[in-house]
Amino acid sequence: MKSIKVLGMALLGMSIILASCSAEDGEKGDQGLQGAKGDTGDKGDQGEQGIPGEDKPNVDFYFQNGFSDYTDTQDASIVPPNIGSDDQELQLLYSNNGLVTTERRSVLRFDNIADEITATLVGDGENCADAFRVNKATLYVYLTGYTNQDYDNLFMKIGFYGEDEPTFEQTEATWTFAHENEYWAADGGEAATWAGFSGSDDYTFLLPKGSGEAYGWFPIMLPRSVVENWICNTGSNKGMRLRIDPNSVDLGQGSIDIASSENPNTDLRPLLVIETEDVEPSATTKMAPSGKAKDWENLSYEEKMAPLYRYFAAKGL
């Protein structure tokens, strides 16, 4: 009886455990179906490849009568009393004998320099003044004769004619007239307004020591702003006047002869070298020449003459 009771209790416990397991481990429901994957969007069109930037090196331009079909240098000696121009020499003289001061001066202009430069450096739709910069402009004149009898120093002084000044004619310019129908502002090729320097033609270069023999090439650095204006505002190019002055009241005399644009030796004629740098159209402002330009006075003679030597090399001299 006791064993039957024990067995019954055991069966009862087992049934409780089985019931508990059955309640906890119910049958897992079926997993729902996965939704369909959406279509991939269309790929956008690839943008056009940009045009590679051009390598635009600095460009030097040379203007000398007889070189590369250029024939537009205009120059003349203006000598009192109205002697006119000399075909082969430009004459500069300063003489003070204590009673009167006598001078001979010359005028010089390079016409039509803008055509070649703008065709090379100014693109369609570009503004000329923003398309390039003049890094340096150098005038080279060949001194065929030079005397300085009395002065410690003798200076070449240059004035740049303002836009409203008359345009001189090479075969008509005299001490009094720019051409046969128009006077200078005053005798001696004076201007009412000088360009680049307020009311002044005292753009000054010290001439070399010594006299009595040909000196050779003399370099003159021109103001960049004046030359840029000649290129982009062609009506402003009225040229320049050259004279010599000892900056002294002492008695004495000095003179210079310069090979003119009519000199039979074409290699000795006045030469204008304009060194330029192209400006990218994307540039928002026209910056100054790259690198700090050395002052003209601090350049060595070789540095001043380097553009001339490059020109000779281009001509095969």
The CA-based angle 187-242-161, given to 5 degrees, is 70
Q: Is residue 202 part of a domain?
A: yes
Q: What is the pLDDT of residue 12?
A: 40
Q: What is the pLDDT of residue 150?
A: 85
Give the number of other CB atoms < 10 A from CB of residue 67: 16
Q: Is residue 83 part of a domain?
A: yes
The rounded distance, in Å, linking the Cα atoms of 287 and 132 is: 10
User: 279 lies in which domain range?
Assistant: 59-314
Q: Is residue 161 part of a domain?
A: yes
CB neighbour class for 172 (10 Å; exposed up to 12, middle 13-18, buried from 19): middle
58 — phi, psi (to 5°)? -60, 145
Query: Which residue's structure tokens are 């026209």?
Result: 286
Q: Is residue 116 part of a domain?
A: yes
Report the number of distinct structural domains present in the chain.
1
pLDDT per residue rounded down to tens, the chain (317 residues):
444 443 344 434 444 343 444 444 445 555 555 556 656 556 556 545 544 444 455 899 999 999 999 999 999 999 887 565 667 899 999 999 999 999 999 999 999 999 999 999 998 888 998 999 999 999 999 999 888 878 989 999 999 999 999 999 999 999 999 998 899 999 999 999 999 877 789 999 998 876 655 579 999 999 999 999 999 999 999 999 999 999 999 999 999 999 999 999 999 999 999 999 887 655 545 555 443 345 777 888 888 989 998 998 888 77
Q: Where are the beta strands (DSSP E) in the chain?
A: 59-63, 73-78, 89-96, 101-110, 132-148, 155-161, 177-179, 182-183, 194-195, 203-206, 216-222, 240-245, 252-259, 271-278
Give the number of other CB atoms < 10 A from CB of residue 87: 13
Query: Which residue's structure tokens are 């050779």?
Result: 216
Q: Is 195 helix (H, G, I), strand (E, B) or coil?
A: strand
The rounded distance, in Å, linking the Cα atoms of 282 and 317 is: 40
Q: What is the pLDDT of residue 193?
A: 94
Q: Is residue 304 part of a domain?
A: yes
The rounded distance, in Å, linking the Cα atoms of 211 and 256 is: 10
Q: What is the pLDDT of residue 135?
A: 93
CA 191 vs CA 124, 157, 165, 168, 234: distances in Å: 37, 14, 7, 12, 19
Closest C-alpha to 61, from 275, 229, 305: 275
Q: Is residue 80 part of a domain?
A: yes
Q: Please confirm whether the linkage preceding 270 is cis (ω < 30° from 0).
A: no
Q: Which long-range contacts (CB under 8 A, 24 or more apart) does 235-238 make?
A: 235/163, 236/162, 236/163, 236/195, 237/109, 237/110, 237/111, 237/113, 237/114, 238/109, 238/160, 238/161, 238/162, 238/163, 238/165, 238/166, 238/167, 238/168, 238/195
Is 153 in contact with 267 (CB distance < 8 Å)? no
Q: Is residue 277 part of a domain?
A: yes
Is the whole-model pTM more than 0.85? no
Q: What is the pLDDT of residue 294?
A: 54
The packing angle between helices 224-232 and 114-121, to 10°, is 90
Q: What is the pLDDT of residue 281?
A: 59
